[in-house]
Amino acid sequence: MAKDLYYKTEEEIELMRDSSLLVGKVHAEMAKLVEPGVTTKQLDEVAEAFIRDHGAVPSFKGYRGFPYALCVSRNSEVVHGMPSNKPLEEGDIVSIDCGVFKNGFHGDSAYTFAVGKISNDVKQLMKVTYEALYLGIEQAAAGNRVGDISNAIQQHAENHGYGVVRELVGHGVGKKLHEAPEVPNFGKRGRGPKLGEGLVIAIEPMINMGTKNVRQASDGWTIHTADSQPSAHYEHTVVIRKGKAEILSTFEYIEKVLKEKNNDKVLA
């Protein structure tokens, strides 16, 4: 096992589960609010208050000077979008990335939400990115290598003609938000660091409808697709186990809210 990788004890994994589940709860609050007309700054304010009310600190706020609790990336924004006063519009997609620091450990998870009704091709991009995340997680078993995760994600995205972002990658997570190893969303099977039990990583495919190329906005943070086509992003914090990874974060709270919202609409 590589020396620079930090393997967590079961006690530490429980603390990381607690942080990661809190991120899932923050996302569920976001799921309730994501609608046409809401501003992403409003989302950020609610998220920060919720995080602090739960005895945690937003991991991103102050990280290398980032001023917000959430990264909120709309449409052609890939990641690291800044919350703003511009209201969400029907047909947008919005990727919300959230990290919390609690009891000495970070949890990190991202989810792409649809704002109202979205086009079928964007729906497909979201679905494939979501599937790519879980295909990556399937490869995150002890004894496999990082490249097995990377390859599974890349293959699935490229089979659908999508672009896989190269410049931004998943990562180890723990006492620091970003630890070794890097977990790229592209790569070759059997390559890269070997995954050992207790290693905790954030797997986070960022998949573009068009070109894989990205550019950074003048705000110094926001990453855009180079061709202005949409991009989706889903992320889980997982712990490497024998046989299969255990997912420490969750989308269950989010999806419960989304289901209820959609049922409401059917009844209305």
The residues binding Mg ion (CB under 5 A) are 97, 108, 110, 202, 235
Question: In angstroms, rounded to a whole number, what is the distance separating the alpha carbons of residues 144 and 245?
Answer: 11
Residue nearer to Mg ion on the CB measure, 93 or 110 = 110
Three state DSSP letters for 208-252: ECCCCCEEECCCCCCEEECCCCCEEECEEEEECECCCCEECCCCH
Residue 207 backbone phi and psi in degrees, to 5: -120, 130
Q: Which is nearer to Mg ion, 44 or 108 (CB)?
A: 108
Helix, strand, or coil (residue 164): strand
When the beta carbons of 240 and 242 are compared against Mg ion, the nearer one is 240
Could you tell me the smallest distance in angstroms from the CB atom of residue 233 to Mg ion? 8
The distance of closest approach from Cβ of residue 91 to Mg ion in the complex, given in angstroms and rounded to an integer, is 25
- Taking the complex as a whole, the smallest distance from the CB of residue 73 to Mg ion amounts, in Å, to 11
Q: In what order do the strands lie in the sheet with 223-225?
A: 77-79, 223-225, 214-216
Look at residues 257, 266, 265, 267 and name the one whose alpha carbon lies nearest to residue 25.
257
Comparing CB distances to Mg ion, the nearer of 43 and 202 is 202
Smallest distance from Mg ion to CB 267, Å: 34
Whichever of 109 and 229 has its CB closer to Mg ion, that residue is: 109
Nearest approach in angstroms of CB 235 to Mg ion is: 5
End-to-end CA distance of the chain: 56
